[in-house]
């Protein structure tokens, strides 16, 4: 593997933070196939792909003689990045001593999520192939990029199943300002004032979280050191069409509103199961959402992202903000009015979107990194995590079924290595499906599959209520 000092590039502030030993974040992209895996075919395709040619995926993380962190361009030995397991993965069963392919894959990733760093003597990514389970796990260090940029680059390696000559497409929001056409000037001023007030309010709360404000302890609570505890993973499988039906029940609702409602309802049911009568109505638990601050590329020629000096190259990297999501415990769950969770979620998310909380947290983080370095900045982020209850993220995947080196992809799922939260939830939408990977510290949450079933049942309850409401309107 040849080294070239002439092409050394400095790490970004966020890249330095993600590479701190106490905050070593690795993304696991789980790719399920509906056919036997031809590893050599995938290796051949990846060897000439935009991903392997991308500067970040063909560079070593090094420290120069002055101790400065750098990316150093190398010649990639792709064989070192492919790890193949021929036989079945043995792991814990979830019921009746029956271990399904999904259980085996989830057990494998749960083990990887705790204290399984990537080797720094090669670029910080690797493919694990579980041939007996028709699955691949793409491990990517978070310093390489955020969810949108990494998903976009992965999709640049794929093709549409119905038209192999075409790249996948991703739903995108309309152009900035599209919704404000014809806005009344007085309403515009009121909206601006509200945005300013909410930003101040939410930034103040974020500051309090860093200093001392902490969620009261529940059976979901983690804490410092919990990131090293053994993990379990369960998958909640939602249908996007069902979520679309639910969002139609309340004007201007979004899929993200429905996701928040499902999470709120499911967590309330689980809390009621594990600690009945222990929590009062409205008891607050707080989630941390890591929000991408840029739009998906949509029809953009994704392979252009590899050109670091091009306009699209400046789009690359980690551009993430933090948003705190307050969830209120519902003693009655969704038994009386399943859509109440959606009304609450929409009101909460609308306020969060109106504020500049995520942008401020990103700018503050960059400034803090520049002034005090990655060690202090990392400790600040860890305090936010230790003082809240769970992590949640949502990444939009392709609308169509896609293939990788001729292999039809059945599902795409994502999670990241462990935080000090006892529970992390990561949703990825793909070809009409939305799978939530629930990563839980198994000594605190021993049955994440129960929580997954609550998420699924909550969506079905909301769908039924939404259909009934639509019928009444008609």
Which residues does the annotation mark as catalytic?
Answer: 142
Which of 384, 373, 393, 358 has its CA nearest to residue 215?
A: 384
Which of 24, 197, 242, 45 has its CA nearest to residue 120?
A: 24
Cβ-proximal residues to 311 (8 Å cutoff; 6+ apart), any chain: none
Cβ atoms of 216 and 389 closer than 8 Å: no
For residue 77, with 0-12 CB atoms within 10 Å meaning exposed, 13-18 middle and 19 or more buried, which class applies? exposed
> Could you count the other beta carbons within 10 Å of the beta carbon of residue 170?
23
What CA–CA distance (Å, rounded) separates 274 from 366? Answer: 40
Q: Where does residue 225 fall: left (phi above 0), alpha (psi -120 to 50 degrees), or beta otherwise?
A: left
End-to-end CA, the chain? 68
Cβ atoms of 369 and 15 closer than 8 Å: no
Long-range contacts at 107-111 (CB < 8 A, ≥ 24 apart): 107/232, 107/233, 108/137, 109/28, 109/30, 109/137, 109/233, 109/415, 110/230, 110/231, 110/232, 110/233, 110/439, 111/231
Which residues sit opposite 396 in a β-bridge?
A: 429
Which residues sit opposite 235 in a β-bridge?
A: 437
DSSP 309-350: TSTTGGG-S--EEEEEEEEE--TTTTSS-TTHHHHHHHHHHH
In this structure, is the dihedral angle defined by the CA atoms of residues 51, 54, 60 and 61, taken in order, positive or negative?
A: negative
Cβ atoms of 306 and 55 closer than 8 Å: yes
Q: Where does residue 35 fall: left (phi above 0), alpha (psi -120 to 50 degrees), or beta otherwise?
A: beta
């Amino acid at each position: 593997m040849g080294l070239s000092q002439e092409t050394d590039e400095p790490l970004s502030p966020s890249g330095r933070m993600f590479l701190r030993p106490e905050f070593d974040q690795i993304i696991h992209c789980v790719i399920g196939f509906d056919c036997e895996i031809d590893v050599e075919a995938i290796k051949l395709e990846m060897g000439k792909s935009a991903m392997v040619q991308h500067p970040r995926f063909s560079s070593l993380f090094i420290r120069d003689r002055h101790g400065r962190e750098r990316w150093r361009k190398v010649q990639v030995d792709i064989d070192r990045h492919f790890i193949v397991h021929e036989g079945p993965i043995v792991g814990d069963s979830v019921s009746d001593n029956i271990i399904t392919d999904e259980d085996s894959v989830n057990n494998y990733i749960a083990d990887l999520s705790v204290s399984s760093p990537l080797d720094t003597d090669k670029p910080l990514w690797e493919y694990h192939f579980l041939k007996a389970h028709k699955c691949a796990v793409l491990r990517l260090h978070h310093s390489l990029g955020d969810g949108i940029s990494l998903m976009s680059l992965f999709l640049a390696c794929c093709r549409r199943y119905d038209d192999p000559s075409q790249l996948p497409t991703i739903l995108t929001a309309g152009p900035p300002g599209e919704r404000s056409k014809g806005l009344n000037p007085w309403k515009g001023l009121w909206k601006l004032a509200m945005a300013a007030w909410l930003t101040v309010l939410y930034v103040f709360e974020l500051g309090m979280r860093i200093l001392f404000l902490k969620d009261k302890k529940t059976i979901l609570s983690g804490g410092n050191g919990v990131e090293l505890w053994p993990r379990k993973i369960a998958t909640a499988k939602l249908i996007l069409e069902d979520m679309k039906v639910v969002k139609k029940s309340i004007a201007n609702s979004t899929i993200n509103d429905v996701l928040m409602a499902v999470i709120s309802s499911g967590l309330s049911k689980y809390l009621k199961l594990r600690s009945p009568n222990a929590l009062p109505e409205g008891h607050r638990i707080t989630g941390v959402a890591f929000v991408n601050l840029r739009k998906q590329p949509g029809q953009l020629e994704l392979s252009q992202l590899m050109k670091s000096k091009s306009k699209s190259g400046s789009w690359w990297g980690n551009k993430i903000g933090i948003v705190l999501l307050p969830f209120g415990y519902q003693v009655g769950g969704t038994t009386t009015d399943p859509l109440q969770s959606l009304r609450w979620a929409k009101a909460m998310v609308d306020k969060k979107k109106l504020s500049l909380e995520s942008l401020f947290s990103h700018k503050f983080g960059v400034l803090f990194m520049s002034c005090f370095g990655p060690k202090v900045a990392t400790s600040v982020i860890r305090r936010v995590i230790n003082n809240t209850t769970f992590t949640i993220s949502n990444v939009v995947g392709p609308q169509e079924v896609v293939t990788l080196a001729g292999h039809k992809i059945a599902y795409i799922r994502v999670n990241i290595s462990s935080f000090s939260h006892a529970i992390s939830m990561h949703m990825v939408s793909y070809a009409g499906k939305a799978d939530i990977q629930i990563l839980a510290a198994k000594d605190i949450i021993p049955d994440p599959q129960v929580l997954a079933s609550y998420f699924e049942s909550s969506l079905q309850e909301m769908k039924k209520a939404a259909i009934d409401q639509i019928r009444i309107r008609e």
